[in-house]
């Protein structure tokens, strides 16, 4: 069910000569930004080098979560989940959104005590987060091995079905007057007198007053070609889905070693928590010191790998093409959809751990396994900002392992920014300059 470069092309609107806004990348961030702009009557063209939601936005767990967020992200996440709740009706699409709650499971008192800190933040935002006892966890997870000490629970959290949701919103963008083109890589931007005037795609030029780069794991490469510094790395995360099975838990749960959630099709999406793999390449050395603080704080959940498992090729990672011009075939055309192979170790761990925690699912078949490359910035929170050195260019990237849920909220933020409307949220933490102005890097709560 994952979307890859073998999937049929579904969005092939003709290239316009001119629009108000070009968006680079048709993941949840680019498509949500397009949605808000179109609804406000702005003309938008979304260029996607591969397939709509082909990369992170269809490969994720599908959690739409407020719980455990960075304090600066939380107001946007709250806004976002309300938007998700309205989107199905507004778009007329089945996005698979339900509010089944998010559960962080604790297997000891220390972990449980750590969850208490979050309640303070939750209280400030009138969130319904609470601590559950072991017996209360048993009521939610009906077939569990009974060893959870308790959990942090936010009943108003939810999920959507990633492989359906973003393509669904994309169709609604088209109906609202926007246009989207797959197999259309943006090579670079066009400028006149120091101001952005459009983009150069592999299919030709488009003139535009504003350009939003929402290129996920490719953003740093795109920005670097324009001499914009964006320290960004990627980690591989492996996921699997089971065959349809008994409903032992209808929400989203994560423990230190496993995460699982009920799917619309009656199966479970499963992942081995803590198996985020970074494949060391040239950028790992380039950005090493910037990432050092988050490397310390998240070392338990990160594995360094020296082989080739990112789907890019080892030599390419070590010696990437960093500069090209508008007539060159760009790296974006050479890799339409980043489709790394899933980790066999992670799949084995999921099998073992699922059976250990949910005995009735022991030995269940995984119908499909896949992986995605999560893009991360040094403080594990995104950039949502204008680029001062290139007036007319905006950047929305680095959403780490939590960009799907906040996607519609971030889309509204970016639409406001592009239109020059006053920001509804405090966006200081998300400014681009924090990586170059000597600011201290303060890692958020994690990937």
Ligand X SMILES: Cc1cc2nc3c(=O)[nH]c(=O)nc-3n(C[C@H](O)[C@H](O)[C@H](O)COP(=O)(O)OP(=O)(O)OC[C@H]3O[C@@H](n4cnc5c(N)ncnc54)[C@H](O)[C@@H]3O)c2cc1C
CB of 119 to ligand X, least distance (A): 21
Each residue 237-256 as x (binds ligand X by CB under 6 A) or -, in order, gives: x-x-----------------
Query: What would the two tokens of residue 133 be?
Result: 């006892």
**Exposed / middle / buried, residue 192 (Cβ in 10 Å: 0-12, 13-18, 19+):** exposed
Q: Using the rule CB under 6 A, is 68 a contact of ligand X?
A: no
Per-residue binder mask for ligand X (CB under 6 A), 271-310, x = binder: ----------------------------------------
Distance CA 181, CA 171 (A): 12
Encoded one letter per residue, x for contact with ligand X by CB under 6 A and - for no contact, window 43-62 reads ----xxxx---xxxx-xxxx
The interface with ligand X within residues 351-380 (CB under 6 A) comprises 372, 374
Minimum separation from the CB atom of position 109 to ligand X (A): 27
138 vs 427, beta carbon nearer ligand X: 427
Q: Phi first, then psi: what are they for 162, rounded to 5°?
A: -55, -40
Does residue 168 interact with ligand X by CB under 6 A?
A: no
- Tell whether residue 25 is a contact of ligand X (CB under 6 A): yes
63 binds ligand X per the rule CB under 6 A: yes
Listed in order, strand segments (DSSP E) in 266-322 are 268-271, 276-279, 302-305
DSSP string, 350-416: HHHHHHHHSGGGTTPPEEEEEEEEEEE-TTSS-EEEE-TTSTTEEEEE--GGGHHHHHHHHHHHHHH
Stretch that binds ligand X, among 28-36, 90-98, 111-119, 309-317 (CB under 6 A): 28-36
Element (H, E) at 131: strand 129-133
Task: Provide the minimum distance between the beta carbon of 70 and ligand X in the complex, in angstroms, as a whole number.
Answer: 13
Q: Does 444 bind ligand X (CB under 6 A)?
A: no
Cα dist. 281→92, 306, 321, 428 in Å? 43, 8, 13, 30
**What separation, in Å, do the N-terminal and C-terminal C-alpha atoms of the chain show?**
24
Residues that bind ligand X (CB under 6 A): 24-30, 47-50, 54-57, 59-63, 185-186, 214-218, 222, 237, 239, 332, 372, 374, 397, 399, 401-405
């Amino acid at each position: 069910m994952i979307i890859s470069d073998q999937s049929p092309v579904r969005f092939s609107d003709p290239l316009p000569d001119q629009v108000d806004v070009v968006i680079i990348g048709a993941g949840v961030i680019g498509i949500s930004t397009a949605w808000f702009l179109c609804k406000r009557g702005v003309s938008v063209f979304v260029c996607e080098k591969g397939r709509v939601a082909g990369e992170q936005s269809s490969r994720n767990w599908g959690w739409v979560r407020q719980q455990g967020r960075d304090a600066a992200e939380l107001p946007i996440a709250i806004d976002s989940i309300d938007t998700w709740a309205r989107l199905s009706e507004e778009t007329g699409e089945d996005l698979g959104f339900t509010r089944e709650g998010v559960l962080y499971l604790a297997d000891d008192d220390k972990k449980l005590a750590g969850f208490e800190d979050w309640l303070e933040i939750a209280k400030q935002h009138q969130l319904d987060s609470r601590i559950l006892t072991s017996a209360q966890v048993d009521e939610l997870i009906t077939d569990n091995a009974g060893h959870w000490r308790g959990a942090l629970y936010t009943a108003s959290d939810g999920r959507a079905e990633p492989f359906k949701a973003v393509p669904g919103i994309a169709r609604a963008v088209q109906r609202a007057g926007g246009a989207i083109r797959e197999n259309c890589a943006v090579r670079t931007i066009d400028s006149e007198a120091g101001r952005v005037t459009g983009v150069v795609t592999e299919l030709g030029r488009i003139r535009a007053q504003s350009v939003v780069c929402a290129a996920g794991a490719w953003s740093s490469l795109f920005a670097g070609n324009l001499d914009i510094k964006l320290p960004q790395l990627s980690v591989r995360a492996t996921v699997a889905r089971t065959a349809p099975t008994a409903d032992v838990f209808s929400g989203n749960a994560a423990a230190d070693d496993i995460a699982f959630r009920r799917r619309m099709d009656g199966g479970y999406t499963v992942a081995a928590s803590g198996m985020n793999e970074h494949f060391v390449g040239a950028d790992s050395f380039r950005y090493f010191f910037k990432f050092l603080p988050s490397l310390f704080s998240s070392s338990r959940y990160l594995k360094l790998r020296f082989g080739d498992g990112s789907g890019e090729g080892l030599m390419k990672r070590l010696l990437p093409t960093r500069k090209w011009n508008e007539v060159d075939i760009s790296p974006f055309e050479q890799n339409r959809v980043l489709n790394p192979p899933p980790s066999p170790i992670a799949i084995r761990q999921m099998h073992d751990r699922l059976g250990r925690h949910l005995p009735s699912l022991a030995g269940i078949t995984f119908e499909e396994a896949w992986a995605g490359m999560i893009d991360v910035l040094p403080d594990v929170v995104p950039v949502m900002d204008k680029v001062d050195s290139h007036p007319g260019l905006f950047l929305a990237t680095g959403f780490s392992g939590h960009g799907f849920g906040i996607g519609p909220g971030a889309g509204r933020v970016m639409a406001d920014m592009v239109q020059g409307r006053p920001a509804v949220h405090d966006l200081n933490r998300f400014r681009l300059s924090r990586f170059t102005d000597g600011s201290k890097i303060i890692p958020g709560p994690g990937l």
